[in-house]
Amino acid sequence: MKNIVILISGGGSNMAAIVKTAQRDGWRERLGAQVAAVISNKLDAKGLVFAREQGIATEVLDHKAFASREEFDAALAAVIDRFDAPGAPVLVVLAGFMRILTPGFVNRYAGRLVNIHPSLLPAFPGLHTHQRAIDAGCQFAGVTVHQVTAELDHGPILAQAVVPVLPDDTADTLAARVLTQEHVIYPRAIAGLLQK
């Protein structure tokens, strides 16, 4: 069984979309895969409640309890590695995990560490993507699923979805339109990875 570990920091809407898709599409039977755990760096992350309701193992690792990024990432890796299965290393999925990961962590999970970013990368890496797209006069915005590399919001693109930027858009209305596409393409991109 291929185990998927999802890392969150907040509401976990992308995590929930992945879990629901895995259940609906029978990933366990069709792909030999399951969401095995949800880990958060915040105790009050609302996504943990949903995960527990689905019977998924949860863990909280407060990054503030560690002296350095390296110490936190080492502890996080130790938790993730508990879900490795023989011959099927865990797939690590970032779903609103608001931590910049160290190069050592990224290298450890190279090729099996996935992220979603609310822009059409390589445009607008980093924060405030929706406002930046509006300010730049973009007619289209979107979302990108990509493999994680040591360079922030770079790495091989696995999937993208495009949405229009409307004349009266605010960052919030554009973000809401993009989010609906995130919930579609993230599970699809993960299913594609699991089939390889």
Is 90 exceeded by the pLDDT of residue 152?
Answer: no
Strand (E) or helix (H) holding 99? none
Using one digit for the tens of pLDDT, what is the confidence trace for 79-120?
999 999 888 889 999 999 999 899 999 999 999 999 999 999
Strands 157-164 and 140-147 turn out to be: antiparallel
pTM, two decimals, is 0.96
Structural domain range at position 124: 2-194
CATH of the domain at 119: 3.40.50.170
Using one digit for the tens of pLDDT, what is the confidence trace for 36-55?
999 999 999 999 999 999 99
C-beta of residue 153 within 8 angstroms of C-beta of residue 143: no
Looking at the 3D structure of the chain, how many domains does it have? 1
What are the catalytic residues? 117
Q: How confident is the model at residue 196 (pLDDT cuts 50, 70, 90)?
A: confident
